[in-house]
Structure 1
Amino acid sequence: MGIIRLENIRTFSYHGCLDEEAKIGSDYLVNLEVKTDLRKARHSDELADTVDYVHLNAIVKEEMAVRSKLLEHVAERIIARIFTEIASVSRIMIAVSKVNPPIGGDVASVTVQIEEFRT
């Protein structure tokens, strides 16, 4: 087994419960970790034998572009797409962070982290 990580995927998105967040948007960071079997790829040196991180990045960017009120909801969409589109992934750990959230204080970011296993 092995782990593939994509760290600090940056997006500008329009998530949030406030009307202003839908209009002005905000910066987000996504950290993604997937567990998969890397044994075949270690020997074959072929992209077809691993999880393509370009594909993972595309899923994250596409789902981050779809507005959600809650970070939990956008994270769930990303998880669902990865499990649907990439059969070899057995576990996903995702963290979605809103940078400089509008919560009335000096807070660098808020993060929702979810771990999910293929059933």
Structure 2
Amino acid sequence: MITISLHGAEFFGFHGYYPEEQKLGCRFIVDVDVSFEPLNDLKDDKLSNTVDYEQVYHIMEAEMKKTSKLIETVAQAIADEIKARFSFARTIRVSVKKLDPPLKGKVDYSNIVITI
């Protein structure tokens, strides 16, 4: 089993339940781990034998550009798209952190994690 990871990808997005969150936006950090069995022998040294993390990044970027009320929805969409693109993936873990969520007290981030 192999796992590729992209951690700490930062995006500015307009996700949030409240209209002002969707207007003002905020920063998000996305982490993705994809575990899989290689399609062929890795000695072949071909990108097609693995999960291309550049494509994973583009999936993250595209989903973060869409506005959603819940970061759970964003994480699920990222996981679903990765699974659609890389059907041989066994486990996909997506974490979305919302930095400085609009709460009364100081909170560094809220976080959700989805594993499929």
TM-score, structure 2 length as denominator?
A: 0.95
For residues 41 and 94 of structure 1, what CA distance do their matches in structure 2 show?
27
| Count of residue correspondences | 116
Is 1:41–1:50's contact at 8 Å kept on the other side of the alignment? no
Quote the RMSD (CA, aligned, Å).
Answer: 1.2
Partner of 2:28: 28
Counterpart position of 1:100: 100
> What displacement does 1:41 show?
5.3
Distance 1:2 1:80 in 2: 19
Distance 2:25 2:41 in 1: 39
Q: How does 1:59-74 map to 2 (within 5 A)?
A: 59-74=59-74
Partner of 1:58: 58
Q: Secondary structure at the match of 1:58?
A: helix
Distance 1:41 1:100 in 2: 44
Over 3 Å counting, the alpha-carbon distance change for 1:111 and 1:41 in structure 2 is farther
What does residue 78 of structure 1 align with?
A: 78
1:16 alignment partner in structure 2:
16
User: Displacement of 1:39 after TM fit?
Assistant: 7.2
**Runs of 5+ in structure 2 lacking a partner?**
none
Aligned-residue sequence identity (percent) comes to 32
Matched, 1:88 2:88: yes
User: 1:38: how far off?
Assistant: 3.3
